[in-house]
Homo-oligomer: A and B are copies of this chain.
Amino acid sequence: MARVFDRIALLGIGLIGASLARVIRREGLAGEIVVYTRRAETLAKAEALGLGDRYTLDAAEAAAGADLVMLCTPLGAYRALVEAIAPRLVPGAIVSDVGSVKGSVIREIGPLVPAGVHLVPGHPVSGTEHSGPEAGFATLFEGRWCILTPPPGTDPAAVERIAGLWRRAGMMIELMDAAYHDRVLAITSHLPHLIAYSIVDTVVGLERSTRREVVKYAAGGFRDFTRIAASDPVMWRDIFLDNQEAVLEMLGRFSEDLARLQRAIRHGDGEVLEELFTRTRAIRRGVIEAKQA
Protein backbone atom coordinates (compact mmCIF):
# COMPACT_ATOMS: atom_id res chain seq x y z
CA MET A 1 0.00 0.00 0.00
CA ALA A 2 2.88 2.37 -0.85
CA ARG A 3 1.70 5.95 -1.25
CA VAL A 4 2.57 7.22 -4.75
CA PHE A 5 1.35 10.81 -4.39
CA ASP A 6 0.96 13.09 -1.40
CA ARG A 7 -2.07 14.91 -2.77
CA ILE A 8 -4.15 14.01 -5.80
CA ALA A 9 -6.62 16.58 -7.13
CA LEU A 10 -9.42 15.05 -9.18
CA LEU A 11 -10.95 17.75 -11.38
CA GLY A 12 -14.29 16.26 -12.37
CA ILE A 13 -15.92 13.35 -10.57
CA GLY A 14 -18.06 11.46 -13.11
CA LEU A 15 -17.86 7.76 -13.94
CA ILE A 16 -14.08 7.77 -14.49
CA GLY A 17 -13.13 10.22 -11.76
CA ALA A 18 -15.26 8.45 -9.17
CA SER A 19 -13.92 5.02 -10.18
CA LEU A 20 -10.37 6.31 -9.95
CA ALA A 21 -11.09 7.84 -6.53
CA ARG A 22 -12.20 4.42 -5.31
CA VAL A 23 -9.02 2.82 -6.65
CA ILE A 24 -6.81 5.47 -5.04
CA ARG A 25 -8.55 4.86 -1.72
CA ARG A 26 -8.47 1.05 -1.96
CA GLU A 27 -4.79 1.02 -2.88
CA GLY A 28 -3.74 3.80 -0.53
CA LEU A 29 -2.09 5.66 -3.41
CA ALA A 30 -2.46 9.18 -2.05
CA GLY A 31 -2.07 10.96 1.26
CA GLU A 32 -5.06 13.13 0.37
CA ILE A 33 -7.72 13.14 -2.36
CA VAL A 34 -9.16 16.56 -3.22
CA VAL A 35 -12.31 16.57 -5.34
CA TYR A 36 -13.33 19.49 -7.51
CA THR A 37 -16.36 19.66 -9.74
CA ARG A 38 -18.29 22.48 -11.35
CA ARG A 39 -21.74 21.80 -9.93
CA ALA A 40 -22.51 21.91 -6.21
CA GLU A 41 -25.06 19.12 -6.61
CA THR A 42 -22.47 16.74 -8.05
CA LEU A 43 -19.94 17.71 -5.41
CA ALA A 44 -22.49 16.89 -2.70
CA LYS A 45 -23.04 13.46 -4.26
CA ALA A 46 -19.28 12.83 -4.30
CA GLU A 47 -19.07 13.84 -0.66
CA ALA A 48 -22.00 11.61 0.28
CA LEU A 49 -20.19 8.72 -1.42
CA GLY A 50 -17.01 9.56 0.51
CA LEU A 51 -14.93 9.74 -2.66
CA GLY A 52 -12.45 12.35 -1.38
CA ASP A 53 -10.90 13.82 1.73
CA ARG A 54 -11.64 17.39 0.74
CA TYR A 55 -14.25 18.92 -1.61
CA THR A 56 -14.25 22.25 -3.38
CA LEU A 57 -15.98 24.18 -6.17
CA ASP A 58 -12.73 26.09 -6.77
CA ALA A 59 -10.43 24.27 -9.21
CA ALA A 60 -7.40 26.40 -8.33
CA GLU A 61 -7.84 25.62 -4.66
CA ALA A 62 -8.09 21.90 -5.45
CA ALA A 63 -4.91 21.95 -7.53
CA ALA A 64 -2.87 24.08 -5.12
CA GLY A 65 -0.02 22.01 -3.73
CA ALA A 66 -1.16 18.79 -5.39
CA ASP A 67 1.56 16.59 -6.84
CA LEU A 68 -0.97 15.08 -9.26
CA VAL A 69 -3.82 16.94 -10.93
CA MET A 70 -6.02 14.56 -12.91
CA LEU A 71 -8.46 16.10 -15.38
CA CYS A 72 -11.62 13.96 -15.40
CA THR A 73 -14.08 16.40 -17.01
CA PRO A 74 -15.32 16.45 -20.61
CA LEU A 75 -12.54 17.61 -22.96
CA GLY A 76 -14.17 20.96 -23.63
CA ALA A 77 -13.59 22.07 -20.03
CA TYR A 78 -9.82 21.42 -20.03
CA ARG A 79 -8.58 24.74 -21.33
CA ALA A 80 -10.40 26.95 -18.84
CA LEU A 81 -9.49 24.60 -16.00
CA VAL A 82 -5.78 24.60 -16.79
CA GLU A 83 -5.80 28.38 -17.20
CA ALA A 84 -7.36 28.63 -13.74
CA ILE A 85 -5.05 26.20 -11.96
CA ALA A 86 -1.74 27.03 -13.71
CA PRO A 87 -0.68 29.75 -11.23
CA ARG A 88 -1.17 27.34 -8.30
CA LEU A 89 0.68 24.34 -9.73
CA VAL A 90 3.86 23.50 -7.84
CA PRO A 91 7.16 22.55 -9.54
CA GLY A 92 7.42 18.78 -10.06
CA ALA A 93 3.64 18.34 -10.11
CA ILE A 94 2.08 16.19 -12.82
CA VAL A 95 -0.98 17.20 -14.86
CA SER A 96 -2.65 14.18 -16.43
CA ASP A 97 -6.08 13.37 -17.83
CA VAL A 98 -8.43 10.58 -18.85
CA GLY A 99 -9.87 12.03 -22.09
CA SER A 100 -10.68 9.96 -25.17
CA VAL A 101 -8.80 12.29 -27.56
CA LYS A 102 -5.12 13.04 -27.03
CA GLY A 103 -3.81 15.25 -29.84
CA SER A 104 -6.08 18.14 -28.90
CA VAL A 105 -5.08 17.85 -25.23
CA ILE A 106 -1.43 18.33 -26.08
CA ARG A 107 -2.19 21.18 -28.49
CA GLU A 108 -4.63 22.99 -26.21
CA ILE A 109 -3.24 22.65 -22.71
CA GLY A 110 0.41 21.83 -23.41
CA PRO A 111 1.29 25.54 -23.81
CA LEU A 112 -0.59 26.45 -20.61
CA VAL A 113 1.29 24.09 -18.28
CA PRO A 114 4.04 26.03 -16.45
CA ALA A 115 7.72 25.08 -16.77
CA GLY A 116 8.69 22.45 -14.20
CA VAL A 117 5.24 20.86 -14.27
CA HIS A 118 4.90 17.59 -16.22
CA LEU A 119 2.09 16.94 -18.70
CA VAL A 120 1.32 13.22 -19.10
CA PRO A 121 -1.87 12.78 -21.16
CA GLY A 122 -3.56 9.43 -20.66
CA HIS A 123 -6.61 7.46 -21.67
CA PRO A 124 -7.93 4.53 -19.64
CA VAL A 125 -9.90 2.64 -22.31
CA SER A 126 -12.86 1.51 -20.25
CA GLY A 127 -16.27 2.78 -19.36
CA THR A 128 -19.96 2.04 -19.19
CA GLU A 129 -22.99 3.85 -20.55
CA HIS A 130 -23.66 5.29 -17.09
CA SER A 131 -22.38 8.64 -15.88
CA GLY A 132 -22.06 10.64 -12.68
CA PRO A 133 -20.18 9.96 -9.41
CA GLU A 134 -22.66 7.29 -8.31
CA ALA A 135 -21.84 5.25 -11.46
CA GLY A 136 -18.19 4.77 -10.44
CA PHE A 137 -16.75 1.49 -9.18
CA ALA A 138 -13.19 0.44 -8.37
CA THR A 139 -13.02 -2.54 -10.75
CA LEU A 140 -13.95 -0.54 -13.86
CA PHE A 141 -10.39 -0.54 -15.17
CA GLU A 142 -9.39 -4.13 -14.49
CA GLY A 143 -7.87 -6.02 -17.41
CA ARG A 144 -8.24 -3.06 -19.79
CA TRP A 145 -5.61 -0.95 -21.53
CA CYS A 146 -4.48 2.50 -20.48
CA ILE A 147 -2.81 4.45 -23.27
CA LEU A 148 -0.35 7.19 -22.31
CA THR A 149 0.71 9.73 -24.93
CA PRO A 150 3.49 11.84 -23.37
CA PRO A 151 4.79 14.47 -25.83
CA PRO A 152 8.43 14.01 -26.88
CA GLY A 153 10.78 15.15 -24.11
CA THR A 154 8.46 14.34 -21.21
CA ASP A 155 10.30 13.28 -18.04
CA PRO A 156 10.25 9.43 -18.02
CA ALA A 157 9.94 9.42 -14.22
CA ALA A 158 6.65 11.36 -14.44
CA VAL A 159 5.34 8.96 -17.09
CA GLU A 160 6.27 6.02 -14.90
CA ARG A 161 4.42 7.46 -11.90
CA ILE A 162 1.23 7.75 -13.96
CA ALA A 163 1.75 4.27 -15.41
CA GLY A 164 2.15 2.96 -11.86
CA LEU A 165 -1.11 4.58 -10.80
CA TRP A 166 -3.08 2.87 -13.59
CA ARG A 167 -1.33 -0.45 -13.04
CA ARG A 168 -2.64 -0.38 -9.47
CA ALA A 169 -6.10 0.07 -11.01
CA GLY A 170 -5.51 -3.25 -12.81
CA MET A 171 -4.71 -1.75 -16.21
CA MET A 172 -2.13 -2.70 -18.80
CA ILE A 173 -0.07 0.23 -20.06
CA GLU A 174 0.72 1.22 -23.63
CA LEU A 175 2.74 4.25 -24.74
CA MET A 176 1.62 5.72 -28.02
CA ASP A 177 1.91 8.74 -30.27
CA ALA A 178 -1.11 11.01 -29.69
CA ALA A 179 -2.07 11.18 -33.38
CA TYR A 180 -1.97 7.40 -33.72
CA HIS A 181 -4.08 7.04 -30.56
CA ASP A 182 -6.69 9.35 -32.02
CA ARG A 183 -6.84 7.37 -35.27
CA VAL A 184 -7.20 4.01 -33.51
CA LEU A 185 -9.84 5.30 -31.12
CA ALA A 186 -11.74 6.94 -33.97
CA ILE A 187 -12.53 3.51 -35.34
CA THR A 188 -12.73 1.44 -32.13
CA SER A 189 -14.80 3.86 -30.13
CA HIS A 190 -15.75 7.20 -31.64
CA LEU A 191 -17.26 5.92 -34.90
CA PRO A 192 -19.22 3.10 -33.18
CA HIS A 193 -20.69 5.67 -30.82
CA LEU A 194 -21.52 8.06 -33.64
CA ILE A 195 -23.28 5.29 -35.56
CA ALA A 196 -25.16 4.10 -32.51
CA TYR A 197 -26.33 7.64 -31.74
CA SER A 198 -27.34 8.04 -35.37
CA ILE A 199 -29.42 4.87 -35.68
CA VAL A 200 -31.16 5.54 -32.39
CA ASP A 201 -31.95 8.99 -33.72
CA THR A 202 -33.36 7.43 -36.88
CA VAL A 203 -35.78 5.58 -34.61
CA VAL A 204 -36.66 8.83 -32.85
CA GLY A 205 -37.66 10.15 -36.26
CA LEU A 206 -40.11 7.33 -36.98
CA GLU A 207 -43.81 7.81 -36.36
CA ARG A 208 -44.83 7.22 -32.75
CA SER A 209 -46.52 3.84 -33.25
CA THR A 210 -43.53 2.32 -35.01
CA ARG A 211 -41.21 3.77 -32.36
CA ARG A 212 -43.16 1.91 -29.68
CA GLU A 213 -42.81 -1.38 -31.57
CA VAL A 214 -39.11 -0.80 -32.07
CA VAL A 215 -38.56 -0.48 -28.33
CA LYS A 216 -40.63 -3.61 -27.74
CA TYR A 217 -38.62 -5.76 -30.15
CA ALA A 218 -35.22 -4.27 -29.35
CA ALA A 219 -33.83 -7.71 -28.50
CA GLY A 220 -32.96 -8.28 -32.16
CA GLY A 221 -29.83 -6.11 -32.12
CA PHE A 222 -31.07 -2.57 -31.58
CA ARG A 223 -30.79 -2.74 -27.80
CA ASP A 224 -26.96 -2.87 -27.99
CA PHE A 225 -27.07 0.38 -29.95
CA THR A 226 -29.37 2.03 -27.42
CA ARG A 227 -26.95 1.13 -24.66
CA ILE A 228 -24.03 2.72 -26.49
CA ALA A 229 -26.17 5.73 -27.40
CA ALA A 230 -27.05 6.33 -23.73
CA SER A 231 -23.52 7.56 -22.96
CA ASP A 232 -22.86 11.05 -21.66
CA PRO A 233 -23.88 13.66 -24.29
CA VAL A 234 -21.43 16.43 -23.35
CA MET A 235 -18.47 14.06 -23.10
CA TRP A 236 -19.25 12.70 -26.56
CA ARG A 237 -19.92 16.10 -28.09
CA ASP A 238 -16.41 17.14 -27.05
CA ILE A 239 -14.84 13.92 -28.32
CA PHE A 240 -16.25 14.48 -31.81
CA LEU A 241 -15.27 18.14 -31.84
CA ASP A 242 -11.73 17.34 -30.69
CA ASN A 243 -11.13 14.31 -32.93
CA GLN A 244 -12.82 15.78 -35.98
CA GLU A 245 -10.22 14.83 -38.57
CA ALA A 246 -9.76 11.15 -37.67
CA VAL A 247 -13.50 10.62 -37.13
CA LEU A 248 -14.36 12.12 -40.52
CA GLU A 249 -11.74 9.95 -42.21
CA MET A 250 -13.05 6.74 -40.62
CA LEU A 251 -16.62 7.81 -41.31
CA GLY A 252 -15.72 8.22 -44.98
CA ARG A 253 -14.34 4.69 -45.13
CA PHE A 254 -17.39 3.32 -43.32
CA SER A 255 -19.80 5.09 -45.68
CA GLU A 256 -18.04 3.60 -48.70
CA ASP A 257 -18.22 0.11 -47.21
CA LEU A 258 -21.87 0.54 -46.29
CA ALA A 259 -22.69 1.77 -49.79
CA ARG A 260 -21.19 -1.42 -51.18
CA LEU A 261 -23.47 -3.49 -48.94
CA GLN A 262 -26.45 -1.35 -49.90
CA ARG A 263 -25.72 -1.98 -53.56
CA ALA A 264 -25.41 -5.74 -52.96
CA ILE A 265 -28.81 -5.78 -51.25
CA ARG A 266 -30.41 -3.72 -54.01
CA HIS A 267 -29.07 -6.05 -56.68
CA GLY A 268 -29.77 -9.22 -54.70
CA ASP A 269 -26.09 -10.15 -54.71
CA GLY A 270 -26.03 -12.85 -52.04
CA GLU A 271 -22.42 -13.81 -52.72
CA VAL A 272 -21.04 -10.39 -51.76
CA LEU A 273 -23.13 -10.43 -48.56
CA GLU A 274 -22.20 -13.94 -47.47
CA GLU A 275 -18.53 -13.46 -48.24
CA LEU A 276 -18.39 -10.24 -46.21
CA PHE A 277 -20.41 -11.62 -43.28
CA THR A 278 -18.04 -14.58 -43.13
CA ARG A 279 -14.94 -12.39 -43.18
CA THR A 280 -16.08 -10.27 -40.24
CA ARG A 281 -16.30 -13.30 -37.93
CA ALA A 282 -12.50 -13.50 -37.78
CA ILE A 283 -12.33 -10.06 -36.15
CA ARG A 284 -14.65 -11.25 -33.37
CA ARG A 285 -12.32 -14.18 -32.74
CA GLY A 286 -9.45 -11.67 -32.47
CA VAL A 287 -11.35 -9.64 -29.87
CA ILE A 288 -12.08 -12.77 -27.84
CA GLU A 289 -8.43 -13.90 -28.05
CA ALA A 290 -7.31 -10.44 -26.90
CA LYS A 291 -9.56 -10.96 -23.84
CA GLN A 292 -11.50 -7.73 -24.58
CA ALA A 293 -14.85 -9.43 -25.26
Contact surface of A with B, Cβ cutoff 8 Å: 76, 100, 125-127, 129, 144-145, 147, 174, 180, 183-185, 187-206, 210-211, 213-231, 233-234, 236-238, 240-241, 244, 247-248, 250-251, 253-255, 257-258, 261-262, 264-266, 268, 270, 273-274, 276-284, 286-287, 290, 292-293
Contacts and interface: CB of A to CB of B under 8 A. Distances in A.
Contacts of A203: 187, 283
Nearest 6 A/B pairs, CB to CB:
A189-B220, A233-B277, A192-B221, A230-B284, A200-B280, A215-B286
A135 to B, nearest CB: 14
A189 B225 CA distance: 10
A66 to B, nearest CB: 29
Contacts of A220: 100, 125, 127, 185, 188-189, 192
A147 B217 CA distance: 9
Given A184-B217, A281-B233, A224 B224 contact: yes
12 contacts: A125-B217, A125-B219, A184-B214, A188-B213, A199-B254, A205-B253, A222-B287, A226-B287, A234-B274, A241-B273, A244-B265, A251-B258
A287 to B, nearest CB: 5
How many copies the complex holds: the figure is 2
A276 B226 contact: no
Given A199-B254, A233-B278, A218 B265 contact: no
Contact of A283 (B185, B200, B279): B200
Nearest to A264: B240
A183 B210 contact: yes
A268 to B, nearest CB: 6
A55 B270 CA distance: 30
Nearest to A195: B195
A215 B287 CA distance: 5
Contacts of A191: 199
Contacts of A193: 221
Contact of A265 (B240, B268, B276): B240
Contacts of A197: 261, 276-277, 280
Given A215-B290, A241-B273, A283 B226 contact: yes
Contacts of A279: 201, 204
A192 B254 CA distance: 14
B241 A129 contact: no
Given A145-B217, A198-B258, A261-B194, A284 B125 contact: no
A131 to B, nearest CB: 10
Given A188-B217, A281-B230, A205 B292 contact: no
Contacts of A204: 279-280, 282-283
A202 B283 contact: no
Contacts of A192: 199, 220-222, 224-225
